[in-house]
Amino acid sequence: MKINPPQTLEQIAAIIGAEFEGNPKHLITGLNEIHRVVKGDIVFVDHPKYYDKALQSNATTIIINKKVACPEGKALLFSDDPFSAYNKLIRHFSPESFTQKEMVSPTAKIGKNTTLMPGVFIGKDVLIGDDCFIHPNVTIYDKTIIGNRVTIQSGTVIGADAFYYKKRAAYFDKMLSCGNVVIEDDVEIGASCTIDRGVSEQTIIGAGSKLDNQVHVGHDTHIGKMCLMAAQVGIAGMVTLEDGVTLWGQVGIPSNIHIGKGAVLLGQSAPSKSLEGGKSYLGSPASEAKDKMRELITLKKITEEREKSSE
């Protein structure tokens, strides 16, 4: 999420009540999750395992719960609870409003020849392009951006909160979502799909991609152009699919995975690590389909031999 106008280090420190190290006039231009940070962003870290990753990331301001040396060109904010401090900044710069009573917000902009069927809910500041068709009972949350010639089937929800929690001693503390969803031109989304908005950035569905029914896309995931997903595919947060990726039925992609251009994952496959493009994969954990088939044939032969020897 961009902060407009940019804030100084001392201004941010005052909002969260934190000590800081760095130039008081050091500028902060955005809030972002660790995997999507860019120069000018502020990020939080609250676990020693991730200190180095945060300090060496593109973020130029870090909220941290330990006094450490400040990297050159960056600034630090010290907090006993960086997670809560970060949430406080989200709510400060992106206040929630639940006052909308209309089915289509007056701040939404709908393009030419776009059809909204009965029961469609359109939130605040939504942008929908030309020649789209939104079927009955679709819900489109605030700030969603939809391109031209997009079709969304009944019961789909676009822009719900990210599934992102910190486990406390007696409860789960929710990371507040302030990102949005971007659906590019010529995308088709099936019935009862769920596409979560970014925690602090964008969840993106690339141009020409097609999603079957009951597909879930997690927060801050970037799906490339001309991707194809069959029914019941589940994609966690922070996943990147390059252009032309195909996911067949019930494929599951865990968080922070990168799938290369043109890769194909056969039904019910689930990778345990990032995968190269241009290959077909099978199994859980997924490996190249031809290798997995050899493994299965070998296991079958071993089983048959054991059965024969026991007769």
Distance CA 201, CA 178 (A): 7
CA distance readout (Å), 44 to 49, 80, 89? 13, 11, 11
Catalytic-residue membership of 26: no
CA distance readout (Å), 298 to 47, 137, 287, 290, 302? 44, 50, 16, 12, 6
Residue 231 contacts residue 215 (beta carbons within 8 Å)? yes
Look-up of token digits 């949005």: 180
What does the block give as tokens for 237? Answer: 């947060």
Which contacts (CB < 8 Å, 24+ apart) does range 252-258 have? 252/284, 255/218, 256/35
Residue 3 CB neighbours (<10 A): 20
Q: CA 157, 177, 256 angle in degrees (round to 5)? A: 85
Residue 36 per-residue DSSP state: G
Which of 135, 219, 222, 258 is the catalytic position? 219
Query: Which residues are registered as beta bridge partners of 41?
Result: 30
What does the block give as tokens for 143? Answer: 């700030």
Write out the catalytic residue numbers: 219
